[in-house]
Structure 1
Amino acid sequence: MNSMERIFTTISGSEPDEVPTMSILYDLHPIYQVIGYPKKTDADLINSRYGQFFLKKFGMSKIGNLIAKKSVKNTARLGVEAAVELGFDAAWSILGLAFSHFPDEDTIMDDWGSYNDIIFDSHGNATYYWRKPMIKSPEDYENWEFFPDEEKSAKQAYKFYKKLVSDFGKNICIFGDVYGGLFQTMFTSMGLEKIAYYMRKKPDFIKDFVKRLESFSIETIMAMMDAGVKVIMKGDDMSFKSGPQINPKLLDKFWGPSYTKLCEAIHERGGLAILHSCGDNTKLFDLFIKWGFDGAHAFEPTSNVDIFKEKEKHGNNLTIIGNLDVDYTLTERSKPEEVIEETKKLIKHIAPGGRFILAPTHSHPEIDIEKEKIMINAVQKYGKYPINL
């Protein structure tokens, strides 16, 4: 089987030839461990004589846009390139088009309505950290001038993924995504307290915001599929490590109909719909299935979710993607034998019957690629069907 066949076979509920693997790499340092390091980091560029000149003359907007555009395309493309070289069957590519404004030299704005700190990881690569919401009322929402243009975003997504599929689509199954989860985006733009308040006081306002995100998502998803992407993996964190951020009934009431439409649109095109959602989603998996998702990632091992119970309860209806630990196992601190044992444990208990894709739980700058190589080698050695461990 090739990678695409392996992914579609396991998600259909059948056993492929071996356990499929998915890469989630959107931090540049682990990517550079695979494809090679650039001569200059983002921090080098900012702190250089020319960088400081441009910063003083034009402000952060000019140089920030240069870095942001480069980083957005790099993280969405180079992660796939690295995944191909490592031998993964699939790779999640997230195109973050909504980060295009710089109110000051310390701030990058999410055009959906939040301010974020510009930071550099310990290796000099630019990233961001959420600071505060900017849409705190229906009036703020009506007056917000920066919402992404969905038609323009769809054209950008089509162009980007057409090239990505052309370059790598024969060697790996691309899981496409344009940043903008229906719940998480509202959480960062409004804050959880305001969402809770307006769900009760002005529910039509919340519904209108969700519909805007739904329309944007469907438009960009269709563009990705027009470009040749077969699998959509929407990123949308809905839970803490201890459980859902809001009552599941309210999540279903306000966000469920839109996610159902997204899944239906993907399925009508013959594609697969996957949801990435961190935290403990034990109380939400039934909703994910109800909405029409074919699979879910990440089954975060440091949360309260029990992946082995979920295999028993939902394994026939929802493909499990994950849940190799990134807090310890895939870092320099772990031992090679620990990576092998954790990989074997997941294969033994989750892989039988299909509907399992082994993957790291998440991405961060301190991922040790040598440990991911050990994981891949362990899958190739122990993950042949029928599973016999």
Structure 2
Amino acid sequence: MHSPDFEQLLKVLRKESPERPVLFEVCFNDRIAESFGGGDAIKAFFALGYDYATIYAHDLVLPSSHGETLKSTSQNEFLFKNRSDFELFPWNEPKPAAYREKLQGLAGQLPKGGKFIGCQPQSVLGSLVAGLGYENLCIMCYDDPDFVREIADAAGRRLVMHADTLCSFETVGAMILNDDWGFSAQTRLAPEQMRSFIIPWYVKMVEAVHSHGKPAILHSCGNMWTLIDDVCDICKFDGKHSYEDKILPVEKAYELYGRRIAILGGIDIDFLCRKTPEEIRARADALLDLTAEKGGYALGSGNSIPDYVPDENYLAMLEAANARR
């Protein structure tokens, strides 16, 4: 039975070599949670060999498209038709008592040596897209940048408070700041717009996390690599998660950036879906061999484990790490 040791992930995030392979994942599907945790994702994380479990403890209300089904979510549906809609939105402030109640309710599921990793309920760019719609946002960046900034600031300020509140609890060992900054070929907004509206809030979030002596991890999908200097040198993130082979394979990312930031996960979701368990195990083994000496790497997927990833393929990836323990 695996005994969690969160210090091993902390070594990875310090770009050191852990004492044994470390696993990293943001989330996995309900089928995995049922098979390995009786439907409880926290139990499943630890049963599968992770040193932590991710949690979404919060009481925030932020602009979101989650009211639609996942299959029909559109980037061009939006909540704010005008400033009045924005002002009438039910913005709220994080309440520490609500966080404390949620974390106390989860504390009994935390095994010795394990920690929780907090996640964001929404993101700054995600709030802008949900609030204005993607195409409208692109236009508004030029036609009414002040309104764009007001929305970004309303979301960003609350997300800083969320990170600060969550990381104040001893059971929370790190924070994942999740915001998808790229499409497959470019950033979702122009780099200068990202630096104007988005990046400053992630600087503040990372500062809030670091103020509690805890590491901050960026989960950002797509081709956001024109912003990697901002990620490493301006925001000062400790780790980066989410990779696609067609954009930048994780092996190449480790070669290019592994001395500047910890590389987490990275085995492409399409690869996990289409290849055999033997091929997946071989790539995972090769990644562990590649990164063993210099460290700063934790094994996992390039994004998450959705329900269309075959269980045997996911488990083949995990076995590469668990067999070396």
Specify the TM-score bucket, using the shorter chain as the normaliser. Answer: 0.7 to 0.9
Q: Does the 8 A contact of 1:343 with 1:378 survive in 2? A: yes
Cα shift at 1:168: 1.3
Letter in 2 for 1:296: K
Distance in 2 (alpha carbons) for counterparts of 1:282 and 1:168? 35
State whether structure 2 residue 300 is matched by structure 1 residue 298: no
**SS of residue paired to 1:196:** helix
**SS of residue paired to 1:317:** coil
1:327 to 244, 265, 270: 270
State whether structure 2 residue 110 is matched by structure 1 residue 168: yes
Task: Report the counterpart of residue 55 of structure 2 in structure 1.
Answer: 93
Task: Report the counterpart of residue 145 of structure 2 in structure 1.
Answer: 203
Task: Report the counterpart of residue 252 of structure 2 in structure 1.
Answer: 309
* Higher mean displacement: 364-373 or 311-320: 364-373
* Residues 197-249 of structure 1: CA deviation (Å, up to 9, x unaligned): 22222222222212211221122222212332120001111111222111112
Task: Report the counterpart of residue 8 of structure 1 in structure 2.
Answer: 10
Letter in 1 for 2:79: M
Q: Is the radius of gyration larger for structure 1 or structure 2?
A: 1
Change beyond 3 A, Cα 1:31–1:262: same
Change beyond 3 A, Cα 1:285–1:375: same
Task: Report the counterpart of residue 282 of structure 2 in structure 1.
Answer: 341
Task: Report the counterpart of residue 283 of structure 1 in structure 2.
Answer: 226
Letter in 2 for 1:180: Q
Within 5 A, what are the aligned runs for 1:110-259? 111-114=62-65, 116-118=67-69, 129-131=72-74, 132-144=77-89, 146-147=90-91, 149-152=92-95, 154-168=96-110, 170-228=112-170, 229-259=172-202
Give RMSD over aligned pairs: 2.5
Change beyond 3 A, Cα 1:269–1:115: closer
Cα shift at 1:181: 0.9
Letter in 2 for 1:250: Q
Task: Report the counterpart of residue 354 of structure 1 in structure 2.
Answer: 295
Cα shift at 1:320: 0.7
Letter in 2 for 1:340: R
Task: Report the counterpart of residue 107 of structure 1 in structure 2.
Answer: none
Letter in 1 for 2:296: R
Change beyond 3 A, Cα 1:376–1:265: same
Cα shift at 1:294: 0.7
Q: Greater strand share, 1 or 2? A: 1
Distance in 2 (alpha carbons) for counterparts of 1:128 and 1:7? 34
Which TM-score applies when normalising by structure 2? 0.87
Structure 2 stretches lacking a partner, 5+ long: none
Question: How many positions carry a matched residue from both structures?
Answer: 318
* Residues 302-342 of structure 1: CA deviation (Å, up to 9, x unaligned): x412323322322111111111233342x4x6422112112
Task: Report the counterpart of residue 84 of structure 1 in structure 2.
Answer: 46
* Higher mean displacement: 88-97 or 197-206: 88-97
Cα shift at 1:113: 4.9
Structure 1 stretches lacking a partner, 5+ long: 38-77, 100-110, 119-126, 385-389
Query: How high is the sequence identity, in percent, across the aligned residues?
Result: 21
Q: Does the 8 A contact of 1:83 with 1:91 survive in 2? A: yes
Within 5 A, what are the aligned runs for 1:260-271? 260-271=203-214
Which TM-score applies when normalising by structure 1? 0.74
Change beyond 3 A, Cα 1:191–1:185: same
